[in-house]
Structure formats: C-alpha cells, structure tokens
Chains A and B, each alone.
Chain A
C-alpha cells in the first residue's frame, strides 16, 4: 500500500514536468516576451526601448533556454526557463502585473474561495443524492418521469441564467441579501448564502440524473433482490443497501474534485464580487496578466493530481475488495 502510494506520488512528477513544458511552450515559445510586451503596453506606446524596459522589469530579457553570454553553470540556469518555469516547482511564481507577489495573493484569496466552494460541495452532494434517491424510490411512476424531465431541463439552463436571474430576483427585487461583496467574520454568511444556493441549484440537475442511473444500476443487483426477499422494507433496502453501495462510485467520482475546490468558481466569484481565486483568475485573464495565468495553471494541475491520488486512496478505503498493486 505505502509503496504503491509513493509510486503514484512519484508518477506525478513527470506529469507536472509535462504541464510545465506545455505552459512554457505556450507562454514563451509560441508567443515571445516581445509579443506580450506589445500587448501589455498597447499599440501607442510600443517603442523598442519601452519593450526592452518592460522585459527588463519583469526579468523576461534573458534567453529562453541557453544563455551563451553567461559563465559556467549560469549558461543553463540564467534563463527564462529556469527563472520562470522551473521556479514554479518550489511555488515561486514571481509578481503579477501590478507588482504584488502572486503566492501571497493566492494565500489570502484561498479563504473566500473555500468559504463558497466547501459548502457548495457538501450541500450539492447532499441535495443531489437526496433528490436522486427520491426519484429512485418512485421509479417507474410519473413522479420519476417528471423528475427526470426536470433534471434535463435544469441541465439545459445556462449557469449564467441561474446567476443573473438569482441575483436579480433575490438581491434586487426582494432585497434579501446584499448584491455583491464579502463581509468579515460571521457577517460573511449574509453574502455567501445566495452564491452557495445558486451554485447548488445550478449543479443539481446533472448530478441528480447521474446519481439516479448509478442507484438504478445498483437496484438491479442480486443483493438487492435478496434484501427484498428477506422482507426488508423498500426504504430500508434503499438506505441500508443501495445507498451504501452506490456511494462507492459517487464518492470516488467526486473525490478528484476536492483539491480543486481551492480554485473556487470563476463565474460565481466574479458575479458576486468575492475576492477569491476564481475572480483573481478572471481578472488576470481580463488584464492579460500572463504571470498569474501561468501560476494558476500550475496550481490547478497540482491540485488535480492530488485529487487523482486521493481517488486512489479512497478506492481502497471504501471498497476493501480493491487491492492496490
């Protein structure tokens, strides 16, 4: 078990190297720092001096991979690749366009992102499982059919509609909660409740339908028939047997998402003005702040790989039949 986990952990390193190479290729080879400088400076102020100054300020004035002018080992290390790409492995992301350290920024913004993402994750899972169980309990009836239709309809509505519509109705028409922003301490709950509810509702349709198929698959198994045959009530069958067994694919399916909760939600955070990592990313994309986008790509992949790792562990924990080798 331990050796397996260590091996999986080591397996992550080549993947991260791959991610690193892709981002390096995208940000420095496909588009040279000169292009970035031109884009940032705008068409009017582009002079060779301005570009050189912009590059020097950000350390982009070095050669990409091989510094022929340097001495000794510095030939290979005094380059953009080492400075900007390899340094990400020690979580040194440099500074953003407005001169702030990206890592400090990420640390302070993680809190608000988690404050939304964690409740959404838990409540969303709970709501979808409940709804799906309800549909399975009434399977084959018109109620089930109507529920599935509702799920498909909810899936077909754009997430933008949930956000815009919800914000308009609850905040603007009913004046129940503030439109946007984030308060300190317990006051924050007032700001967070609407985005959380909207995210849960927005994700309910797809998740509930998916869980319903998993539950239905479980219901056709032999052990369920046995459970019914020995006289268990339908509710007992559903809760004691079906739910437990169906949670294996559901849990292992969502575990991979847990680390990514740190990244927050792009749309929700930017609509509700929550200073989390999602809105940070959106702002960076809008301002074409390449350093921040690069950092977020790297962190995102690290979290995803951690998620895969956790998935492997959770498989063994919830299903003792699986032996890792």
Chain B
C-alpha cells in the first residue's frame, strides 16, 4: 500500500488544520468566543453544524488516498513492488462491497432483480434476472420485504441505542461544563443521523440500498463519493481567492489614490464578464492545457484532481470581487478610526497597520462570506457540470450524477433513484450549510446584533 497525497487532499487537510487553529484562537479571544457562543446557543446553528460535520467526516475519509499494492509477480524483488493504477480512498475501502459488486445495469433501490428483461439462460423466453449482489443471500426473492423490514428495524434500534447512549454521556458529563450550549439540538440531530446510518449499515452488506445506475454502479456509493467533491468546491474556491481578495481589498481601502483606482478597475473588469462565460472560457482553456501536457499526471485521479482544483481557482477568480469590495469598504471605515490614527501617529509602518490593526478587524467579514458562499458554490457545481464545464467527467460529483441521470426520467418505466438520491443529499448538505451560515452571520455581523 502506498499513500497518495493529491493536491486537493493536502489543501483539504490544511483547511481542517486551519479550522482547528481558528477554534484554538477563538478560545483565547473573548470577543470571538462570545460570538461563537451565540452560534452554539442557537439550536438551528448547532443542528446545521452537526450535519455539516458528518459530511466533513465522509469527505475526510474520502481524502485519505492510497494505491493498492499489486500481487507480487514471481521472481521480482521485494523492493520493486508494483502499485495499482487506481487511486483508492479509505471510504472506498469501507464501502468495498458497494464499489466492487456492480450489476449489469439499472436496478431499483433494494431490488433483487435487474430492471431490464434478459433472455433466460435456458432459452425459455425473457425474464428479469436475479442481481449478482442485491439480495443474493435470500433463497426466495419473495422473502425480501420481511428481510428488509427485519434489517431496517435492527439498524434503527441499534442507531437509537447508540444515540441514547451518547445522550446519556453528554448529559452526564458534558452538559454541566457548558450548559449554554444547545445540547438537545445536537443530540437530536446526532440520534437521527445515527438511526439513518444504522439502517444503512444494516442493509448495505446485502442490498443496493439506493439501486444501481446505468452501468450497474451502486448509487449510494456514488452519492457518498460526491460529498467530497461538493465540500472541496464549496471551501477551496473561497480559500483560493482569499489571499487575493484580502490583500487587494485592504490595500485598496487603506492606501486609496491610484492604487485604489487600479484595484477597482481590475475588479470592475472581472465583474463585468458574465461569471458562467468566464468560467467556461477558462475551463475550455484549462482543458487544452491539460490535454496537451499528459506527462504532468501519472494517474487519472491526478488529472481529475488538477481539473477540480483549476475549477476551484477559476470560480474563485470570478467570485473574489464581491469579498474584495466588502473588505475595501470596511477598511475605508476602519482607516478613520482612532486606533489606526494613533498607530499612524506613532510611526507604525503601513504594512504593520494593515496586518496588525486592520486585518484582524475585517476577519469577521471573511468568515461570514466563507460560510455564506459555500452553499451557492455547491449548487453552482451541479449546474456547471451539467453545462459541461464543471469537474472532470470521471470525477464523481452531484453534477456528473445528475448529468448522467437526467435522461432517465424519459425512460419507460422511469428510473428515478439516481436523480432523487443526488438531489436529496445535495439538498440536505446545502440546507444545513444555509442554516449554519445564517446563524454565523447573525452572530458575527455587528449590525445584525444591534437590532
């Protein structure tokens, strides 16, 4: 086994580390701690954060990449181990059954038979063949409903038990230490998630819980894999534009004069190009660059990763202008405040003033815009992938799933499960992000707190 660190993994881990660092910093800063306490007090905010954390956990598992070691060829020295060309992740290893046990084509959720008729092996007309994986353990396919019911009940009870255990522990040991926190909301959300995952865990080893798609891949597996792409696009896009937006916004606001004019000119130009078209143009160009330099990438995963990152950067370039403008306006305001003028009077250099006195005081705007932009970016990814300028077609994402499934509604009988699965997961993710973002904005926006 050889670990592979894709660029997006590295950035994702960096982001997680930054979040942890931010938490540590917020604990020492009373103002920030108070604002976060407001978030923690809000039931909606806590529930949203809990759901988001579950998605982050899935994405984290999916970011631990490795390449499997191929069986040792006879006569080859131990040192020259061969590694598979496919880059796998810890999530793939967890869902090994879902990943490898593919069917021939469509099958409905929890089905035991294929969705399309096939000629029988004994030549007696046409019939729905049994699935290779789904419901294989059943002798008679008619037992399916009872079997599914038994497993659902078992999984739900297990999940509920785990949730109750968690609640007991939390109430006994955690609640007294921080009784302002919305523990009930957290525990309710976690219990619901645990029940859901308990049911899934009980069914997954025996069925394709959400059916299979056109080439027989498990839809649940695809949806879970999509989570990482969505999270990466939602976070890395904002991250990639942050340095530019911070630097230019603060410098423009603080320096004024021709620098301000130049930066304003730059962002008006970028803003005036319709976002989708700029992304389309850049992605088409990026595609040409990637195609003409195949030697840069040793595996298909790396190539797809490069395209994902370039998509993030390009979306960042088209969207940094809004944040830049906000930062410029805030800096203009801060520049006139007494403490900045005092620093100027003491002869502190412009750079230090911007870095030590202005930057920390605009961070709440950055924070708010990071969480507010997230949901929009997740939704945008799906649309861009539909237009054909999103992620690499081999990258599993909500957009590519929807794109592949959109013609299936026209089939007779209808194939609805891939679309519904992708939309539902996306809805839950975006809804949680929206609710969380609202609470964060209310807590950090001084204007909102006053009213």
Residue interface bits A280-312, CB-to-B below 8 A is 1, else 0? 011001101010011011001100110010000
A15 at the binding interface (Cβ < 8 Å): yes
Contact, CB under 8 Å: A305 / B272 = yes
B281 at the binding interface (Cβ < 8 Å): yes
Q: Which of B220-253 contact A (CB under 8 A)?
A: none
B373 at the binding interface (Cβ < 8 Å): no
A244 at the binding interface (Cβ < 8 Å): no
A157 at the binding interface (Cβ < 8 Å): yes
Q: How far is the CB of A50 from chain B (nearest CB, A)?
A: 16
Residue interface bits A48-85, CB-to-B below 8 A is 1, else 0? 00000000000000000000000000000000000000
Contact, CB under 8 Å: B435 / A152 = yes
**Also in contact, A300 and B402, with CB within 8 A (given A35-B292, A156-B375, A158-B382):** no
Residue interface bits A148-164, CB-to-B below 8 A is 1, else 0? 00001101111111001
A14 at the binding interface (Cβ < 8 Å): yes
Residue interface bits A5-24, CB-to-B below 8 A is 1, else 0? 00000000011001100110
Chain B neighbourhood of A153, CB < 8 A: 431
**Also in contact, A15 and B269, with CB within 8 A (given A172-B409, A293-B284):** yes
Distance, CA A161 to CA B411, complexed state (A): 18
Residue interface bits B277-310, CB-to-A below 8 A is 1, else 0? 1101110110111011000000000000000000
Of B64-72, B155-163, B195-203, B419-427, the stretch lying at the interface with chain A is B419-427
B330 at the binding interface (Cβ < 8 Å): no
Contact, CB under 8 Å: A172 / B402 = no
Please, which residue of chain A has its CB at the minimum distance from the CB of B388? A286
Chain B neighbourhood of A160, CB < 8 A: 382-383, 386, 402, 406, 423
Contact, CB under 8 Å: B427 / A156 = yes
- Of A14, A23, A26, A158, chain B has the most CB atoms within 10 Å of the CB of A158
- Of A267, A294, A301, chain B has the most CB atoms within 10 Å of the CB of A301
Contact, CB under 8 Å: A267 / B386 = yes
B361 at the binding interface (Cβ < 8 Å): no
Contact, CB under 8 Å: B388 / A158 = no
Contact, CB under 8 Å: B272 / A301 = yes
Distance, CA A301 to CA B426, complexed state (A): 32
Contact, CB under 8 Å: A26 / B282 = yes
Residue interface bits A34-53, CB-to-B below 8 A is 1, else 0? 01101100000000000000
A229 at the binding interface (Cβ < 8 Å): no
Interface residues of chain B: helix, strand, loop or mixed (majority): helix
Contact, CB under 8 Å: B285 / A18 = no
B274 at the binding interface (Cβ < 8 Å): yes
A31 at the binding interface (Cβ < 8 Å): yes
Please, which residue of chain A has its CB at the minimum distance from the CB of B430? A156
Contact, CB under 8 Å: B451 / A168 = no
| Count of chain B residues with a beta carbon within 8 Å of a chain A beta carbon | 45
Residue interface bits A132-173, CB-to-B below 8 A is 1, else 0? 000000000000000000001101111111001000100010
Residue interface bits B415-451, CB-to-A below 8 A is 1, else 0? 0000100010011001100110010000000000001
Q: How far is the CB of B64 from chain A (nearest CB, A)?
A: 29
Distance, CA A294 to CA B282, complexed state (A): 11
**Also in contact, A27 and B434, with CB within 8 A (given A164-B406, A301-B274):** no
Please, which residue of chain A has its CB at the minimum distance from the CB of B410? A172
Chain A neighbourhood of B389, CB < 8 A: 285
Chain A neighbourhood of B419, CB < 8 A: 164
Please, which residue of chain A has its CB at the minimum distance from the CB of B278? A297
Residue interface bits B2-34, CB-to-A below 8 A is 1, else 0? 000000000000000000000000000000000
Contact, CB under 8 Å: A285 / B388 = yes
Please, which residue of chain A has its CB at the minimum distance from the CB of B424? A161
Residue interface bits B366-395, CB-to-A below 8 A is 1, else 0? 000000000100010011001111000000
Contact, CB under 8 Å: A27 / B379 = no
Contact, CB under 8 Å: B284 / A155 = no
- A26, A172, A304: which contacts B272 (Cβ < 8 A)? A304
Q: How far is the CB of B423 from chain A (nearest CB, A)?
A: 5
Chain A neighbourhood of B276, CB < 8 A: 266, 281
Contact, CB under 8 Å: B434 / A152 = yes
Contact, CB under 8 Å: A300 / B388 = no
**Also in contact, A156 and B434, with CB within 8 A (given A15-B268, A39-B288, A285-B389):** yes
Q: How far is the CB of B227 from chain A (nearest CB, A)?
A: 15
Distance, CA A15 to CA B427, complexed state (A): 38
Q: How far is the CB of B193 from chain A (nearest CB, A)?
A: 18
Distance, CA A187 to CA B334, complexed state (A): 59
Distance, CA A15 to CA B291, complexed state (A): 32
**Also in contact, A157 and B427, with CB within 8 A (given A282-B387, A285-B389):** yes
Chain A neighbourhood of B278, CB < 8 A: 297
A263 at the binding interface (Cβ < 8 Å): yes
- B272, B289, B379, B430: which contacts A30 (Cβ < 8 A)? B289
Q: Which of B336-384 contact A (CB under 8 A)?
A: 375, 379, 382-383
Chain B neighbourhood of A19, CB < 8 A: 269, 272-273
Contact, CB under 8 Å: A285 / B280 = yes
Chain B neighbourhood of A30, CB < 8 A: 285, 289
Contact, CB under 8 Å: B269 / A27 = no
Please, which residue of chain A has its CB at the minimum distance from the CB of B426? A158
Chain B neighbourhood of A168, CB < 8 A: 409
Contact, CB under 8 Å: A31 / B285 = yes
Chain A neighbourhood of B273, CB < 8 A: 19, 22-23, 297, 300-301, 304
Chain B neighbourhood of A15, CB < 8 A: 265, 268-269, 272
- A35, A152, A301, A304: which contacts B288 (Cβ < 8 A)? A35
Distance, CA A159 to CA B402, complexed state (A): 12
Please, which residue of chain A has its CB at the minimum distance from the CB of B280? A285
Chain A neighbourhood of B82, CB < 8 A: none
A260 at the binding interface (Cβ < 8 Å): yes
User: Could you jot down 5 A-B contacts, CB within 8 Å?
Assistant: A156-B434, A158-B382, A220-B451, A267-B386, A285-B280
B residues engaging A (CB < 8 A)? 265-266, 268-274, 276-278, 280-282, 284-285, 287-289, 291-292, 375, 379, 382-383, 386-389, 398, 402, 406, 409-410, 419, 423, 426-427, 430-431, 434-435, 438, 451
A-B pairs with the 4 shortest C-beta distances? A18-B269, A300-B274, A156-B431, A156-B430
A residues engaging B (CB < 8 A)? 14-15, 18-19, 22-23, 26-27, 30-31, 35-36, 38-39, 152-153, 155-161, 164, 168, 172, 220, 260, 263, 266-267, 281-282, 285-286, 288, 290, 293-294, 296-297, 300-301, 304-305, 308
4 extra interchain contacts, Cβ-Cβ under 8 A, other than A160-B386, A172-B409, A300-B273?
A156-B375, A267-B387, A297-B273, A304-B272
